[in-house]
Amino acid sequence: MVQIISLDRNRKADRKRFIKLPYEIYRQDKHWVPPLIIAEHDRLSNKEPFYGHADAQLFMAKRDGRDVGRIAAIHNRQHNEVYHDKIGFFGFFECENDSAAAQALFEAAADWIRKRGLDTLRGPFNPSINHPLGLLISGEPGPPMVEVTYNPLYYQELLTSSGFGKCIDWLAYNMNITNPETFNRLEKLAGRVEAKERVTTRTIDMKNFKQEVQIIKDIFNEAWEKNWGYLPITEKEIDFMAADLKMLVDPGLVRFVYVDGKPAGLLVVLLNINEILIKLGGRLFPLGIFKLLFGRSRIKSIRLFMMGVTKQYRHLGLETVLYYHSLKYAISRGYRTCENSLLLENNPMVIRASKFMGGEEYRRYRIFDRYVGNGKKKAEKRK
């Protein structure tokens, strides 16, 4: 019989129990990358600024005296204020191939959000749109890229058998950045754009990191405003995120583009630090920190994490300037492959750009939802 237990994310012992479960589920999975335990504690605790405008409840599923599944039910008040709907979220879902345990977890999460006046359960978000999200549903085998989710493919069946349906898909494109044809195409196009004297570009200045992060925040909140599920990122959230991502950055792979001296767009590429983390077992100490610091120079894969141009300067070809200079630098540094992710399936412009650079879809992630209200579901427009 499955037993559902509520955990308190503000108690370190409860967080530790919650964090420990994936190590059992993925014990035989050579592709799983154990997240840093210290980072997982931070993501679940009030150190994470997200919880300044959200609540979350952790649940564990237990069978025969053993933990077999987990989930977080999430009430993101900011989302419902922005979109004027009644969406509750779930995240951090992990479970053995046990449909009864999975259904019990989803029912616990549904009951928790229902008591808060919400009528739809959507996820996975870990814990929000501005964090790793989605369920891997198809694609090539292999370890995930940095800050991308990973799960056994049977998870999809656990969700669908619990009444969840597709909400929206996110795509990952794999690109071979050493292809000379791609480089030559971009060089030609970027040259035409840069021939206009009003267009300039530069890399991030790590000596003035705080000021640079503010520019990133301003561009993000304008360039991503119309994207599905967009939520404005707060000062505290961007500072917290930037501190985490700082160690994943090669400064030559974070680039701004300006028009008439005004910030118009940015591109952020992250080092795929998972090449190192997969060997650390989630622990930085005693030796992990040294492997992390000294292994960075041997990383060969990167992830195109963020690229956007503000509304005022779109259709000027600024994306090609960002792509070209970042690609040129990446080649000079010996990087070999790049994943462009996650791309919304309903964003043809970024998909077209990925294909233009020789990319091919190689993994797909899905957001699921399920109506859990007490009344009859009304027709709704996806947001």
pLDDT of residue 376: 67
* DSSP state, residue 124: -
pLDDT of residue 381: 45
Q: Is residue 351 part of a domain?
A: yes
pLDDT at 335 over 90: yes
The share of the chain scoring above pLDDT 90, in percent, equals: 87
Across 77-161, where does the E strand assignment appear? 87-95, 120-123, 135-139
Do both 196 and 321 map to the same domain? yes
Confidence of residue 207 (pLDDT cuts 50, 70, 90): very high
- Distance CA(353)–CA(26), nearest Å, equals 35
Q: Is residue 100 part of a domain?
A: yes
pLDDT of residue 286: 75
Confidence of residue 382 (pLDDT cuts 50, 70, 90): very low
User: 């989302």: which residue's tokens?
Assistant: 79
Do both 153 and 208 map to the same domain? no
Do both 82 and 180 map to the same domain? no
Do both 158 and 227 map to the same domain? no
Average pLDDT of the residues in 2-9: 98
For 79, the 3-state DSSP assignment is: helix
pLDDT digits (tens, 9 = 90+) for 24-59: 999 999 999 999 999 999 999 999 999 999 999 999
Q: Is residue 378 part of a domain?
A: no
269 in Cβ contact with 258 (< 8 Å): no
User: 């797909």: which residue's tokens?
Assistant: 364
Q: Is residue 19 part of a domain?
A: yes
Burial class (CB in 10 A: 0-12, 13-18, 19+), 178: middle
For 16, the 3-state DSSP assignment is: helix
pLDDT of residue 378: 55
Confidence of residue 379 (pLDDT cuts 50, 70, 90): very low
Which string of b and e fits 360-374 if b means at least 16 CB within 10 Å?
ebbbbbbbbbbebbe
Q: What DSSP letter does each residue of 252-266 carry, written as one string?
A: EEEEEEEETTEEEEE
Amino acid at position 80, single letter: N
Pairing type for strands 337-344 and 301-309 reads parallel
Do both 133 and 185 map to the same domain? no
Measured from the Cβ of residue 91, the count of other Cβ atoms closer than 10 Å reads 22
- Distance CA(269)–CA(7), nearest Å, equals 36
pLDDT at 171 over 70: yes
Amino acid at position 374, single letter: N
pLDDT at 380 over 90: no
pLDDT of residue 377: 67
* DSSP state, residue 31: T
Q: Is residue 59 part of a domain?
A: yes
Q: Is residue 381 part of a domain?
A: no
- Distance CA(383)–CA(369), nearest Å, equals 12
Cα-based torsion angle of the residue sequence 75, 76, 77, 80 in order, rounded to the nearest 10 degrees: -100
Average pLDDT of the residues in 153-161: 98
- The domain in which residue 184 lies consists of 175-365
Our measurement of the distance from residue 266's CA atom to the centroid of its chain's CA atoms, rounded to an integer in Å, reads 18
Total domains present in the chain: 2
Please, what sign has the CA dihedral across residues 161, 162, 163, 169?
negative
Do both 107 and 255 map to the same domain? no
- Distance CA(40)–CA(277), nearest Å, equals 14
pLDDT at 323 over 50: yes
Do both 224 and 151 map to the same domain? no
pLDDT digits (tens, 9 = 90+) for 261-304: 999 999 999 999 999 999 999 998 877 888 887 888 899 999 99
For 109, the 3-state DSSP assignment is: helix
pLDDT digits (tens, 9 = 90+) for 90-114: 999 999 999 999 999 999 999 999 9
34 in Cβ contact with 280 (< 8 Å): yes
For residues 248 and 369, which has the higher predicted lDDT (pLDDT)? 369
pLDDT of residue 9: 97
Do both 160 and 205 map to the same domain? no
Q: Is residue 213 part of a domain?
A: yes
Q: What is the pTM of this model?
A: 0.95
Do both 181 and 165 map to the same domain? no
Average pLDDT of the chain to the nearest whole number: 94
Q: Is residue 380 part of a domain?
A: no
Average pLDDT of the residues in 338-367: 94
Do both 18 and 112 map to the same domain? yes
Do both 189 and 152 map to the same domain? no
85 to 9, 118, 175, 344, 380: CA distances (angstroms)? 26, 8, 38, 21, 10
For 187, the 3-state DSSP assignment is: helix
Do both 17 and 158 map to the same domain? yes
Average pLDDT of the residues in 66-86: 97
The share of the chain scoring above pLDDT 70, in percent, equals: 98
Average pLDDT of the residues in 87-92: 98
- For residue 309, the domain's CATH number is 3.40.630.30
pLDDT of residue 287: 77
